[in-house]
């Protein structure tokens, strides 16, 4: 190689290093100008109250791994979360459905932001009864009759609100197919309120998300399970086979009442909202969903035949 060639290569290398250095510095400068990043800042999130236990854990672990961040979650009925789509200060929604095309267009027009969404886990709607209740094996036809008030026994359904909640919407859209709930349906203030009410009243039947009672390693959820019994529903694929909302049955949709858990992110830059969304869909976040006995969307479950003694 000639001296001239060596000089050209050296000049090229120095030029590349200089440009790269400027690019890195420019990127860091731009990041410092952002109001928040995955490592610092504060954001507000509206989340469906049905998923409070597992979302609390997601936030706790994320903030522990990123000490400069604050994720402030306001738990409320799903319809209230959906209304927050047009609230600019709310960066993310955690609900059970994706935004419609009309809603995405409205966000783009009103907030000049793109709404991104992703299914991050799947949840089962569990059915709970009083400890003394004999009604622990139910078909979906039984469930429909209970919900409409035509069941052979006078069992009154109890929800975490009779309007606006994701559980009620799921029941009406996916179980009753647009039909009407019995006017006797009752509302508790929260999922925990449903558990406590069912525990104290033999003639009612409660509907709550599995994340409130599915984790047998959680002392609080174990205390809930001492208050109520979880009913088995007829399997979606095998008539006469009754199953609970166990994780594996949710994962393969053997359990008949399964719904999605979705984040909707309104962020035009890679900020704290993006960091938290990536965390929930990443390895650690998916393990947290798995530990909460939901079915993670991005982590395969190993399903092995076991015999359960209950």
- pLDDT of 70: 98
Question: DSSP letters along 15-58, please?
Answer: HHHHHHHHHHHHHHHHHHHSS-BTTEEEEEEEEEGGGHHHHHHH
Q: How distant, in Å, are the alpha carbons of 122, 188, 303, 309 from that of 306?
A: 22, 36, 9, 10
Structural domains of the chain sorted by starting position, each given as residue range(s) with its CATH number in brackets? 40-122+259-296 (3.40.190.10), 123-257 (3.40.190.10)
- pLDDT of 305: 47
Long-range contacts of 36-40 (CB under 8 A, 24+ apart): 36/69, 36/271, 36/272, 37/270, 37/271, 37/272, 37/275, 38/66, 38/69, 38/270, 38/271, 38/272, 38/274, 38/275, 38/276, 38/278, 39/66, 39/68, 39/69, 39/275, 40/66, 40/68, 40/69, 40/272
- pLDDT of 308: 45
Tell me the torsion sign for CA atoms 72, 75, 80, 81: positive
- pLDDT of 301: 52
- pLDDT of 23: 52
- pLDDT of 9: 60
Round to whole Å and give the CA distance between 145 and 150. Answer: 5
198's enclosing H/E stretch is helix 191-200
- pLDDT of 16: 54
Residues of the chain with pLDDT under 50: 19, 22, 303-310
Question: DSSP letters along 122-138, please?
Answer: EEEEEEEE-TT-S--EE
| Burial call 87-106: b when 16+ CB within 10 Å, e when fewer | eeebbbbbbbbbbeeebbee
- Is residue 254 packed enough to be buried (19+ CB in 10 Å), middle (13-18) or exposed (0-12)? middle
Order of strands across the sheet with 242-243? 137-138, 232-234, 242-243
Of 257, 231, 215, give the one whose Cα is nearest residue 130: 231
Q: What is the pLDDT of residues 88-137, one digit of tens each?
A: 999 999 999 999 999 999 999 999 999 999 999 999 999 999 999 999 99
Q: What is the pLDDT of residues 5-26, one digit of tens each?
A: 555 565 555 555 554 554 555 5
Beta bridge pairs of residue 199: none
- pLDDT of 230: 92
């Amino acid at each position: 190689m000639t001296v001239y060639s060596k000089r050209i290569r050296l000049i090229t290398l120095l030029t590349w290093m200089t440009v790269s250095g400027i690019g890195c510095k420019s990127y860091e400068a731009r990041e410092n100008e952002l109001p928040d990043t995955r490592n610092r800042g504060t954001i507000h999130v509206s989340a469906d109250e049905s998923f409070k236990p597992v979302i609390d854990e997601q936030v706790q672990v994320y903030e522990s791994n990123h000490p400069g961040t604050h994720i402030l979650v306001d738990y409320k009925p799903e319809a209230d979360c959906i209304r927050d789509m047009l609230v600019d200060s709310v960066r993310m929604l955690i609900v059970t459905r994706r935004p419609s095309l009309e809603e995405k267009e409205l966000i783009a027009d009103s907030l000049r932001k793109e709404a991104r969404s992703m299914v991050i886990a799947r949840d089962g709607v569990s059915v709970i009864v009083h400890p003394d209740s004999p009604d622990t094996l139910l078909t979906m036809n039984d469930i429909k009759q209970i919900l409409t008030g035509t069941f052979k026994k006078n069992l009154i359904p109890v929800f975490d609100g009779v309007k606006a909640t994701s559980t009620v919407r799921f029941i009406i859209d996916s179980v009753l197919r647009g039909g009407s709930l019995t006017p006797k349906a009752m509302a508790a203030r929260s999922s925990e309120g449903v558990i406590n009410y069912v525990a104290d009243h033999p003639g009612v039947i409660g509907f709550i998300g599995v994340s409130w009672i599915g984790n047998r390693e959680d002392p609080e959820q174990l205390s809930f399970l001492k208050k109520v019994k979880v009913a088995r529903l007829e399997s979606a694929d095998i008539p006469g086979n009754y199953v609970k909302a166990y994780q594996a049955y949710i994962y393969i949709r053997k359990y008949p009442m399964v719904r999605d858990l979705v984040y909707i992110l309104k962020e035009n830059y890679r900020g704290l909202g993006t960091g938290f969304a990536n965390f929930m869909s990443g390895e650690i976040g998916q393990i947290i969903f798995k530990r909460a006995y939901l079915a993670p969307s991005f982590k395969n479950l190993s399903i092995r035949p076991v015999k359960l003694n209950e």
